[in-house]
Amino acid sequence: MPEAPEVQTVLSTLETQIGQARIVKAELFHDKLADNMDARQFEAALVNQRIERFFRLGKYLGFETQDYDWIVHLRMEGKFYLFDAYPNPKDKHIHAIFTLSDGRYLCYHDTRKFGRMYLYPKTGSIASLPCFARVGVDFQDATGRHLYEKTRGCRRDIKSVLLDQSVIAGIGNIYADEILFAARIDPRSVAGHLNEADCEAIVAQTKRILNGAIKAGGTTIRSYTSSLGVTGRFQLELKAHRREGEECSQCQDPIEKIKWKGRSTYFCPRCQVRK
């Protein structure tokens, strides 16, 4: 699943390539793609809407038009393509086509059909939109104090907490491994056992690593690509994730891989302290 850096890469690329485009026509071929309204209503609402601003919250990307906030959650396999000609014959995995005023076509592609789109009349308060009801503070705005307060009395492991989008939004499995490796904290540590200094270190590493990944264009693992001519390069800088058996960059002991809470987890058992 794309994490915050990959979503930001897609968003920034779209902003560069389509700018303040006007939508001439909207077509949805998978009705469930429109999550909060009827698909035909969704199509009609976007006609003649000009995109005025691009934004992101956690793993969600958004387009602000004159009258609406259009939110997209890519989920596992959602991607955008930009074509000069109308796709014909239509790719069976293209579930939406937005005709732009400059004659190009913005297409949403999703092999698993997990992605969702939401359309809300503008209110001026993005965080209050219903689709964000269970989304916490974006990683860019997180603080060590926030994480510390969220984990008091918490019996869950710290990796599960970092993956919980209601605590800090934007972190996924790849970056959770990298963050905890950099903070030197075992992913199995009980979150409630961490002190404020630990939480400060985790948040500082979160911002450093995710912002570094944004600059590198995200992390290309398995099927991720922005699908707009941008391929992530941050995988070249990973220190723990998918480095099982390789030497730890700090102590030269081998990185270990375990299955933890159903997820592949990579860490250095010597450098990362379990609390």
Do 125 and 147 share a domain, yes or no? no
- Alpha-carbon distance 67 to 45, whole Å? 9
Beta strands 137-138 and 168-169 are parallel
Nearest CA to 207 out of 256, 146, 151 is that of: 146
pLDDT of residue 234: 45
Mean pLDDT, consecutive 10-residue stretches, the chain (275 aa), reads 86 90 96 97 98 96 97 92 84 93 94 96 90 97 98 97 97 95 98 98 97 74 45 63 94 96 95 96
Three-class SS state of 28: strand
Q: Which of 103, 132, 161 is the last residue of a domain?
A: 132
pLDDT of residue 161: 98
**Does residue 258 lie in a domain region?**
yes
- Alpha-carbon distance 76 to 172, whole Å? 12
Q: Which of 98, 132, 166 is the last residue of a domain?
A: 132
**Does residue 274 lie in a domain region?**
no
- Alpha-carbon distance 186 to 115, whole Å? 32
pLDDT of residue 1: 66
- Active site positions, annotated: 2-3, 59, 263
How many domains does one find in the chain? Answer: 2
Whether 207 contacts 139, CB under 8 Å: yes
- Alpha-carbon distance 133 to 122, whole Å? 16
**Residue pLDDT, tens place only, 144-191:** 999 999 999 999 999 999 999 999 999 999 999 999 999 999 999 999
**Does residue 173 lie in a domain region?**
yes
CATH label of the domain that carries residue 53: 3.20.190.10
**Does residue 147 lie in a domain region?**
yes
Q: Which of 132, 165, 185 is the last residue of a domain?
A: 132
Whether 238 contacts 218, CB under 8 Å: no
pLDDT of residue 123: 87
Residue 134: Cβ within 10 Å count: 10
Do 24 and 125 share a domain, yes or no? yes
- Enter the tokens of residue 147: 């994480």
Give one DSSP letter per residue of 223-251, joined into a string: T---SSS----GGGG-SSTT-TTSBPTTT
Put residue 99 in one of left, alpha, beta given phi > 0 → left and psi -120 to 50 → alpha. beta
- Alpha-carbon distance 9 to 2, whole Å? 10
Residue in this structure with the two tokens 């937005």, named with its chain if needed: 98
Do 102 and 84 share a domain, yes or no? yes
Domain boundaries, position 121: 4-132
Do 31 and 100 share a domain, yes or no? yes
pLDDT of residue 218: 52
**Does residue 275 lie in a domain region?**
no
